[in-house]
């Protein structure tokens, strides 16, 4: 009887460990997907994907609307909107591209767009309309309103 109880407990323990391990693997896959949704740009990749900063005239290089989040690791409001932008990048996948630029690493790029406060969000429509810059943190619904207004 004692052996049967020990074997049963061992089987239950193994099943629980397997379930926890699988849940962790699924969470890791989910986290990997959202962590990669917003790509960080440096000045060189910005010039290849968004605007050629070496050109005298800014010509949009993309074929989809773009959001650029000018951010910094020390900025509390920037950190609060980062997960929202990750969610939006997944929701609008294939329709909008969302990038981020660390202003501490890319001071010249931030200065080119007169970024003096962060978070600064640059909306760049693909239809040739003028880009729009907004400043400050906001919730997901406000971002969706701005996407509808500025990009769609």
Q: Which residues are catalytic?
A: 75, 78
Residues with Cβ within 8 Å of 65's Cβ and at least 6 positions away in sequence, in order, are: 95, 96, 97, 123, 124, 125, 126, 147, 151, 152
Q: What element of type H or E holds 102?
A: strand 97-102
The token duo for 26 is 């699924």
């Amino acid at each position: 009887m004692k052996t049967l109880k020990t074997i049963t407990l061992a089987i239950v323990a193994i099943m629980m460990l397997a379930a926890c391990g699988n849940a962790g693997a699924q969470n890791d896959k989910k986290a990997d997907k959202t962590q990669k949704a917003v790509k960080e740009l440096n000045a060189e990749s910005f010039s290849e994907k968004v605007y050629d900063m070496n050109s005298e005239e800014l010509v949009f290089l993309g074929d989809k609307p773009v959001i650029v989040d000018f951010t910094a690791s020390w900025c509390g409001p920037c950190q609060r909107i980062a997960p929202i932008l990750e969610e939006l990048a997944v929701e609008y996948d294939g329709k909008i591209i969302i990038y981020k630029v660390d202003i501490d690493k890319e001071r010249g790029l931030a200065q080119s767009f007169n970024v003096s406060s962060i978070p600064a969000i640059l909306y760049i429509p693909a239809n040739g309309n003028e880009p729009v810059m907004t400043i400050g943190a906001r919730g997901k619904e406000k971002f969706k309103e701005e996407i509808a207004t500025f990009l769609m």
